[in-house]
Amino acid sequence: MDVIEAIHSRRSVKKFKSEPVRRDLIEKLLEAAVQAPNHYKVRPWRFVILEGPARERLGDVMADIFHRKFPDVKPEALDKERAKPLRAPLLIAVGVDQPTEPKVLEIENICAAAAACENILLAAQAFGLGGHWRTGEAARDLEIKKFLGFSADQHLIAFLYIGYPEFIPEPYPRMGFEDRTTWME
C-alpha cells in the first residue's frame, strides 16, 4: 500500500478482534513512529506499550479514579470505565518530553509526537491493522500519567488502540482543503 492510499483509506476502527498484535509488527509501528520530523532531533516522544494484563491494570486505575470522583456511581459504570483499555489488544500511550534546551519549543515537541502518532496509524493501516486515537480526561490525569511512568509535566497526547479490525468502517466524505486554504503569491 502506498502512502497516499494509506492516508485516504485510513479510518478510525472501534471494534477489534481479540487476536494479539505480533511483537515484530509492534516494533515496525514504532520504527515508523520515530521517522516523524522533530526540530533539533530531540526525539521528544515516549511510547508505553500495554498488552494483556497491563491493559487490565490500567483499567483498574481508571475505574478507581472514576469511583473517587463519583463515589455513588453504579457498578456498571465502573465496569465500563475499567473496560476502556480493553477495547483493542494493543494500547500505545504516547507521551511528550518537555524541552530541556531554551531553543526547543514545547509546541514543537508536541507536534513531533503527534506526527509520530499519525505515522503509527498509517503504518498500522499498511499492515492490515486498525487504529483509533483517543485522549479524554484520562490523558490529563496525574495518576494515570504516574501509572504509565510519565512525569506530571509531560503531556500524554494519545492512547492509540491498535488491532486487527472486526470490520473496516465505510469511507465517509471528508471536507476538502479549499475553505481552509489561502494562496499567496
Model confidence pLDDT, tens digit, residues 101-160: 999 999 999 999 999 999 999 999 999 999 999 999 999 999 999 999 999 999 999 999
What values do phi and psi take at 90, rounded to 5? Answer: -130, 130
Query: If you average pLDDT over residues 175-180, what whole number do you get?
Result: 94
| pLDDT of amino acid 163 | 98
Query: If you average pLDDT over residues 66-89, what whole number do you get?
Result: 97
